[in-house]
Structure 1
């Protein structure tokens, strides 16, 4: 591990001042510390923000949720309002990691976590995300777990977060605070596709701090849930996953929110699936037909072609779980 300085922020202003000077924010540290140990990340200065008042989980005036960036995964998943209003968030969090990690890791840190691509974490391998311009070893290497959607010639790494898939489906907003004040970024714009600059992963400005993630109110009744398909039952990242929320009234689907994980360079919203569902009556045939649109635009690699069909089946299964069978 390389030398670095550490300061603990007394308040938000203190944190922003340190961030403006180039300090990297750290709370639970469940991802960043690992990357530092592996010398993938070599920050010169860390700023501890765990004491900032950003842990509250509240219901907004319109019936949405505001989740403080420093709320832990465990306390967010267990919060009665999260479980009642948006069980898809609780389920995604509880399927994410071990209980010990969920007790430490924060919501802000979770959506900021970096890929588990083995080439990214191997400092001897070519990786444009870690070392811009060095190439992408995954393109011709072992790419079974890599992305089939949102890829570029420079990067095919998947985004690892489960709860980010739920946030993408629900069209959440990320609240940021920086030297220039507050701003809000739609979740769809917060995490960036690799393009020619895979090393730039979030739309954060220098010194900005995530303060909360806000989930908008959706029509009720609303059923939602998260399905994760992986190589083993626990402590594993998704091969595919699906976050689904459905508002059904009068036997007709009035609104549908669907996103997939494990297949995209960012959590992958599925608008074609959503459009196909709205105005239709729930049925097994509908779920299968809608899910056929899930892999639209996929660009599979040599070892992950199976993900195209697996994605469709995962989405169809979760639509059936949430929407029922008729």
Structure 2
């Protein structure tokens, strides 16, 4: 049954993809800009569900302080949820982040996230998102269903952040470190499918969706270069170098191990996510660059 869905942050990467995909599935989708206070004049009674993706991230404003992160990511989220509840909206979906766990990953050592309540955020982004989660969970009830989604790195054509940077580096560098790692990640099209199921079934709770395969940085870079018809030379890295590399956050975020444990996402298996092979996904992405 088609629904009327309001999406905030629809000019962003995730919000725009969700808006387009839900619309293509026959839903009526409205887009809302929450950068000013005009949203307070909107009548929310017309909506079946709200998907809140608008957020302040480091890429938006590298100079933003914690107070600004709290204003946008926590207070705005809570005020929006309160207004939605007051107007009788039945379902509120909040796009959170893996950053609430406060882990970057480690090279040579598996970091597995097992406890959904063990939150130790360290960045302004992660701290403000964790606080927002707590605030909106306080007002959830049988008539106001809340779903919180904590995706890992989201990637796809034109995605912001590390994946696009990785593509640029992969195209230029013929020699890359031979480091085997595993990181949970989520293809944007898989997130679209996941959110559609969340909306369709009015699901509640906290979710940790991920691809069925783990993201191996070396393998991904090699596959990108393969699609560019370029050879790749793998440079062996001695294990004695791992502790040194782990001191550099940018390196540990790319080559470190960081995964969602099966216990975190096992209950989400009923939510349909295509079991695409990562080679097929990389090929699809590179064909559009």
**TM-score after normalising by structure 2:** 0.28
Q: Which has the higher helix share?
A: 2
Q: Which has the higher strand share?
A: 1
> Which has the bigger relative contact order, CA under 8 A and spacing at least 6?
2
**TM-score after normalising by structure 1:** 0.26
